[in-house]
Amino acid sequence: MTTTHLAITVVIIALFSYWLGIKRAITVAGGVKHTRQLVSLPGQYGLLTAFWCGLPAILFLLIWSAIEASIVDSLLIQKVTLSLDATTQQNMSLLVNNIKILAEKVLLNEDVSSATALQLEHAAYYAELNTKATWLKTLLTLVIAVGCVAVLLTKIKQTFHARNNLEKIISGLLFTCSGIALLTTIGIVMSVLFESIAFFTKVPVTEFLFGTQWSPQIALRADQVGGSGAFGAIPLFVGTILISTIAMCLAIPVGLMIAIYLSQYASPRLRSVAKPMLEILAGVPTVVYGFFAALTVAPLIRDFGILVDLPIVAESALAAGLVMGVMIIPFVSSLSEDALTAVPSALKEGSIGMGATHSETIRKVLFPAAIPGIVGAILLAVSRAIGETMIVVMAAGLAANLTFNPIESVTTVTVQIVSLLKGDQEFDSAKTLAAFALGLMLFITTLALNIAALKIVRKYREQYD
Amino acid sequence: MTKQDPQTLPRSAVTEKIELGLAKRHRREKIFRAFGLTAVIFGFMLVFFLLFDITSKALPAFHQHWVKVDVNYSAKNLRYSAGDDLANLSYRNTLRKSIYEQFPDVKARRDKRKLNGLFSSNAEFAIKEHLQANPEYLGTTQPVWVRVDDDVDVYLKEVEVLGEPLVRIDQKEAQWVKTLVENGAIEERFNVEFFTSSDSREPELAGVRGALTGTLLTMVVTLVLSFPLGVAAAVYLEEFAPKNRWTDMIEVNINNLAAVPSIIFGLLGLAVIINLFGMPRSAPLVGGIVLTLMTLPTIIIASRASIKAVPPSIREAAMGLGASRVQTTFSHVLPMAMPGILTGTIIGMAQALGETAPLLMIGMVAFIVDVPSSFTDASTVMPVQIFLWADSPERSFLAKTSAAILVLLGFLFLMNASAAYLRRRFESK
């Protein structure tokens, strides 16, 4: 049975054992009318039995599926090593792969006449191993499922506290689920960190951080030690900063003014129309913005450049930055609005009562009071801009030019990660690992920005509560 | 201390100064307000421009031009001899000969090739299917409608004066197209194939069905994983977790994860799920897992807010009647919090639906013609399909891309509208 089939079988057995548990509890109580004698509800006995049946079996199945392939492989390698001389052992992974392909061909009754007898023997051994593993898996899973149910059924008595046991299991499960977030973070840190360390053994950290040449595509041959391509990431950092700056130059003023107008001036009717409008802007997928930037805004900007006699390249930083700014406007405006409305109304009323105009109140009282929240919002928006991928992948260039000129083509960290990892790559070449080093930089930067933003916002909240 | 009557108070220099400044201050107030209004109007204009731009680019993709060819199914053209299988006849030759019959003046070899280029490359299969469906047509001449080539399609949609050359259509080709139109041999039809066929290198044949199916499979995985996990985590953190460093850490973690760039989740998927666990590349299963990790924080945060909003009196009443914590949570708190949780889940799913970057990392960018049928088949999703088509040089892919965007936006709109509906119903209670 395949793992999927087995899992379905276990679920069916669990459903059946739910019924068994209820039956057993009723029997122990001495009939349906006497269920009051039990310390827990019959349904709770049923649920507990089902959990006892399903959980261990599914857990076992998961662990088995995770390690089965590697155990079978190592057994196969053992067998192959015994029958081969030392010279061919270097291509072990290739050999093992060939054997697997051969085994599959035998299974599908395809033509295998080109294989040698030894290879066929190995393939047969591999197939046998697989069959055995499947049988063992099926058998063990079913034994565990049925065994656990049997053990529990014997335990059910009138005084057996099914509810307490059940609730322990449930809260354990809930606890595990809440740990997933932590596991994800650990997974991210580990995967990015280990690959980056592997990268830094090939390319020195200083070269990566301070080098001004980026051309990873030069490293064509795998045996080029240290990757003769240049891995100086400064042009990427500069490009990222340039595009993010352009985006923020658009998003901060527009977003702030929208927030101020909507929270202080706008009529409820305008608000009820403008809010969904901002939600539309926020909900548009980034790939759509990318398409918009590359095929509408970039040509517009280029045409404008021709009009005023300015050579603007097709993949200018300006187009990507402006569209990214549009994407970020709703983000800035909604967070700033929260910050503005959180300012106690006494401050505003006091200022207006003293004779200040509305705009003076906003500029000189509300805004300074809300500034920590607004700064927090801007930091979060910057972290968004830095991590944004699709707009720059579609509208910014690939060439790593070290320039602050917005009408030139620049590339960003995220663009390079995508272009290095898109498609099939050899996994331990410097080129591929470089993407993970860039990912590490991106992760650290955005994390630092987020933490700073949260700190500022939290500190601000304490002032008025 | 003597109190002066304000009426008799001489107008002091200060008051005068204030009054002098008033006009200026009011003008500033007006300017400030105008700035605010301009920003809001700017936002509206952006939305309209974006939607208008995409819609106007997309409209041509929903119609396609078909051309009538009088196909001469003669035994000579088909190179047919009695007893041959209808599947293995020379349909390409038949198609070409039939086209030349319609344009007897075209003699030069290069012109003939150009003439053939006006018809879709899949026309020969169309006439094959036609004959296979109606074997009695063998030896007769039958009108068959086939698609025109994508360049001709774009030409017909954009040209102002028929017969004038345009991008990728020269004078001669334009004249032929004009002849065809004048003979009534060209017809515009609704492009059903856009929804029923998969990706293709030929723009006139490409459709979104494969990508839609891939999106559906990926979303199913994401929903099945992220909803129970997210709700369980939220329930634990709100109802069960003791206040200690461990739960604090989890909380900070979730908040940070919500702001991690999506591409980082792609790196995680590539390094851990594909390389470490050995799951298949390009599969909806892996895409779904990556998107689950990405949307979990959204769902957890929304669910926690919703659970927190349930009045404590509900919990106290349940517990007062002897319910345990678990019973209280599952039979009283969760049902009351469900609308809010569902809203959060829909918003999270909408995010996942539009996400592209992490899926590029795990290889869902491949060119895939087959419609995926299982969770481990290689497939692609709508946003990635849009990305791939936007990169294609053929002009008619521009319309296809915009049309695919419209389909995607339509789905997003539906999801957000249902979330808004749920929220409103919840609020009115």
The predicted structure's pLDDT at residue B427:
66
**B302 and B169 housed in the same domain:** no
Across A210-249, b (16+ Cβ under 10 Å) vs e yields ebeebebeebeeeeeeebebbbbbbbbbbbbbbbbbbbbe
Query: In this complex, which of A173, A254, A264 lies closest to B232 when CB atoms are compared?
Result: A173
Mean pLDDT of chain A: 85
Chain B residues with CB inside 8 Å of A394's CB?
387, 390-391
B384 occurs within a structural domain: yes
Q: What is the mean pLDDT of residues B187-203?
A: 83
Where in chain A do CATH 1.10.3720.10 domains reside? 230-464
Q: What is the dihedral of CA A287, A288, A289, A291, to 10 degrees?
A: 90
Chain B residues with CB inside 8 Å of A270's CB?
40
Chain A residues with CB inside 8 Å of B232's CB?
173-174, 177-178
| Least Cα separation, residue A231 to chain B (angstroms) | 19
pTM over 0.80: yes
Other C-beta atoms closer than 10 Å to the C-beta of A86 total: 7
B201 occurs within a structural domain: no
**Sign of the CA dihedral A268, A272, A274, A278?**
positive
B200 occurs within a structural domain: no
Asked if residue A87 has pLDDT above 80, the reply is no
**B266 and B176 housed in the same domain:** no
CB contact at 8 A, B406 and B340: no
B216 occurs within a structural domain: yes
The predicted structure's pLDDT at residue B87:
76
The residue segments making up the domain with residue B146 are 63-190
Query: Within an 8 Å CB–CB cutoff, is residue A41 touching chain B?
Result: no
A387: closest chain B residue by CA: B261
Q: What is the mean pLDDT of residues B85-102?
A: 81
The predicted structure's pLDDT at residue B34:
94
**B102 and B182 housed in the same domain:** yes
Query: Within an 8 Å CB–CB cutoff, is residue B224 touching chain A?
Result: no
B274 occurs within a structural domain: yes
Percent of chain B whose predicted confidence (pLDDT) is above 70: 97
The predicted structure's pLDDT at residue B9:
58
**B152 and B253 housed in the same domain:** no
**Strand locations in A53-150 (E):** none
Q: Predicted confidence band at B204 (pLDDT cuts at 50, 70, 90)?
A: confident
| Least Cα separation, residue A241 to chain B (angstroms) | 16
Asked if residue A224 has pLDDT above 60, the reply is no
B18 occurs within a structural domain: no
B413 occurs within a structural domain: yes
- Of chain A residues 392-431, which have a CB less than 8 A from chain B? 393-394, 414, 417-418, 421-424, 427
The predicted structure's pLDDT at residue B140:
82
**B95 and B143 housed in the same domain:** yes
B235: closest chain A residue by CA: A174
Query: In this complex, which of B38, B272, B390 lies closest to A394 when CB atoms are compared?
Result: B390
The predicted structure's pLDDT at residue A423:
61
Chain B residues with CB inside 8 Å of A442's CB?
261, 263-264
Q: Predicted confidence band at B49 (pLDDT cuts at 50, 70, 90)?
A: very high
CA distance B416 to A262: 22
**Sign of the CA dihedral A454, A455, A459, A465?**
positive
What is the domain class of A230-464 according to CATH?
mainly alpha
Chain B residues with CB inside 8 Å of A436's CB?
267, 271
Asked if residue A415 has pLDDT above 60, the reply is yes
CB contact at 8 A, B299 and B227: yes
Q: Predicted confidence band at B341 (pLDDT cuts at 50, 70, 90)?
A: very high
B51 occurs within a structural domain: no
Tokens of A431: 């080129």
Q: Predicted confidence band at A226 (pLDDT cuts at 50, 70, 90)?
A: very low
**B106 and B186 housed in the same domain:** yes
Number of domains in chain B: 2
- Look at B390 and A295 and tell me if their CB atoms are within 8 Å: yes
Q: What is the mean pLDDT of residues B363-368?
A: 80
Min mean pLDDT across A221-225, B66-70, B102-106, B347-351 is at A221-225
Query: Within an 8 Å CB–CB cutoff, is residue A253 touching chain B?
Result: yes
Comparing B125 with A246, the larger pLDDT belongs to A246
Each residue of A263-289: pLDDT tens digit? 999 999 999 899 888 888 988 999 999
**CATH assignment of the domain containing B270:** 1.10.3720.10
CA distance A255 to A382: 13
Phi-psi category of residue B184: left, alpha or beta, with phi > 0 → left and psi -120 to 50 → alpha: left
Helices (H), B159-259: 171-182, 193-196, 209-235, 245-257
Other C-beta atoms closer than 10 Å to the C-beta of A134 total: 15
- Look at A286 and B354 and tell me if their CB atoms are within 8 Å: yes
Chain B residues with CB inside 8 Å of A281's CB?
43, 46-47
The predicted structure's pLDDT at residue A219:
47
Each residue of A423-462: pLDDT tens digit? 656 666 778 888 999 999 999 999 999 889 888 877 766 5
The predicted structure's pLDDT at residue B6:
54
CA distance B270 to B76: 57
The predicted structure's pLDDT at residue A444:
93
Percent of chain B whose predicted confidence (pLDDT) is above 90: 35
CB contact at 8 A, A263 and A340: yes
CA distance A290 to B408: 14
